Chains A and B, each alone.
Chain A
Amino acid sequence: MEINPFEYLMNPHKRIYWIFLLSSLVVAFVFLKCHPKQKRIILSKKLWLHPSNLLDYGYFIFFIFFKVMVILPILMSAKEVALFVNITLLDQYGFVRIESFSYIQIMALFTLSVFILSDFTRYWLHRLLHFVPWLWEFHKVHHSAKVLNPLTFYRVHPVESLLFGLRYSLSIGLVAGVFIFLFGSLVGIYDILGVNLFAFMFSLLGSNLRHSHIKLGFGNIVERFLISPLQHQIHHSKNHVNTNFGGFLSTWDYLFGTLTLSKNTTNIKFGLEKMQMKNFQNLYGLLFSPFIAIYNQIKDKNFMLYFVTMCKLQRLKREQQ
């Protein structure tokens, strides 16, 4: 596979596909027309050359190489999962073919199912990354960004990247396997440039502003269905970090009680607590500090266990004497 940073700009499957960047730029332009006060920060050199952003740019280059050379080769594809699911269903239930749906209906149903299940698993993986202590150590890398820019999207620890890849293969493979079992090759997807219609449309709606300082909210009603850029920025804020886990849809946050609306949310400060921030100042820190933190956690736990056991042993000895 070729390694080409521009591939990320030319591939519609990527967050920073040029059309998505352009649409975000247009949205940002309109937003700044209405809120001229914010222009000063957005256009400042200080923001774009902030050490956190500089690290993002550098990390992105590292990420491209690492992904092609290490992550992709070990990841199973959704196709393998789909094949496995389909064959398992065949073995279990025999051959089934539902003939009461039209081609158009099957395509529409599949397109929607893929989008919804994918967004659903994305929500839950993201939530787990926050609530499982050792996963949070890896996800901290992403939240250690002090300022945001579209490339912050790629400031993700390789372990997290691997988990998201796995999530993709499993959820897409599952839906595809079930649909192929039921409808065979009539399964298809409505797409724009190969991307799920819904995903493409929602990506156009300023997905690159999620990691930016453009405080664009969608209002109380829409934000119960769609995550606005500002809602994701709120997720990056120290005091609201355990809310707004959603990707495209905020329905999951709404249903599972983790939604924060953007209106009336003030005091947004990106990043982690000061003590933790110092571990994520460079490439080395981003890559290795999660492992060190986890190692320390285990060590502490083991030490505690050792300590408690020794105390008990001592007491036993004393009692025997």
Chain B
Amino acid sequence: MRYLMAIVFLVVSIGVNAVGEKFFNQVIIANVVSAITNTELLIDSINQANSTSAKMQFGNLVSSWKKVETTYLLGDLNEDYLDTPRYIDIFHNNNEDIKSQLDLIINSDDALSSAMYKHSHKTINALEYILFTKNLPHQRVKNMALMITKSIKSYLSEILNGYKAHQSKFFESEQYASAILLNTLVGGTYKLKEWRVGDVAGLSKKFKNRPNNHRAEYAISGNSMNAIKAILATQAQVINSPDYQDFGDIARQFKASKEINQAISALNDSIVNASSMSEFDFINNKGKRLYQSTNRLMKSYYISLMDRLGFVSKVLDADGD
């Protein structure tokens, strides 16, 4: 009887195309498209040397880029794209001090095309430094900001084209699609909890009892909470959306309601905790609460992940002899 039900579920879920096209287009693709739009708006503001508007557009770009990053699974569809996000964002991916390098570039006379030869010089992190600590109307600063934003835009376009070119692999196997999606969520949640919150709040292993707001991802521009909220909102798009068949619905079909409901509850708690936080709240109780709820979220993802390995949650025959 159980097998029969499993087969019925399988047929039903294939019938409605599981975590399928609708999700892919409405979340993954739509988020990349809006990030590209944000880069275009930012380019306009930079061209006008309008510092206020550029700073605002930068905040929007942070938010839309984090959305792309949160569901980034293109590297699993085609390994040529594994490293693409690192050309846009070097948070925790690079130890070098790009600030002093960027200062040197600003103060030198070398052509920008050769001076900014490193990938790290053209990332969102470099852009933040330029836009928020330098004088935008300054021609060289403006050119650098333009160069970086255009580079980000071109990588985002590459991502968009990559998704379109390799989307069939996502639709082909539901098992694989949900596996890579879950992997992205798990990895993203670890980084959220440990790097984006824990390191700042002094709750991570690395910075135990040494809270410091300057460690926040976008400490210079004050966009760190903005980024975190975008990440959490995107996770809600994946596991708790009323608009299309999402990952949560699939889990429920396979009788993992309890596990996915736990994840949703932890996610909702995190969203509530984050919504009341400002950039300076990492180091107080609010930061601690966010750390705890994102930690719960991570664990519940891991539990869902293990439930996919049916035999792991089963106690088998006492196979003695």
Contacts and interface: CB of A to CB of B under 8 A. Distances in A.
A79 B318 contact: no
Interface stretch (B24-32, B139-147, B298-306): B298-306
A129 B319 CA distance: 13
Interface residues of B, number: 37
Interface stretch (A27-35, A47-55, A164-172): A164-172
A97 B312 contact: no
Interface string A76-104: 01110011001100110011010100010
B243 interface: no
A142 B183 CA distance: 45
A188 B191 CA distance: 24
Contact of A77 (B176, B179, B313, B318): B313
Nearest to B189: A95
Contacts of A235: 321
Contacts of A15: 317, 319
Contact of B317 (A14, A185, A189): A14
Given A79-B313, A83-B302, A99-B79, A126 B182 contact: no
B314 interface: yes
A108 interface: no
A173 B305 contact: no
A280 B309 CA distance: 40
B238 to A, nearest CB: 13
B190 A176 contact: no
Given A168-B316, A210-B321, 20 more contacts: A15-B319, A67-B318, A71-B318, A82-B312, A83-B299, A86-B302, A94-B194, A95-B187, A95-B191, A103-B176, A126-B321, A162-B318, A168-B318, A176-B309, A176-B312, A184-B182, A185-B305, A187-B309, A188-B175, A232-B321
Contact of B306 (A14, A83, A195): A83
A235 B79 CA distance: 51
B312 A185 contact: no
Chain A CB within 10 A, most for which of B79, B182, B315, B319: B319
A72 B186 CA distance: 30
Given A83-B299, A184-B305, A172 B311 contact: yes
A194 interface: yes
B65 to A, nearest CB: 20
A156 B179 CA distance: 39
A291 B319 CA distance: 22
A160 B186 contact: no
Chain A CB within 10 A, most for which of B183, B190, B314, B316: B316
B205 interface: yes
Nearest to A119: B319
B312 A78 contact: yes
B311 A194 contact: yes
Contacts of A173: 312
Contacts of A186: 179-180, 183
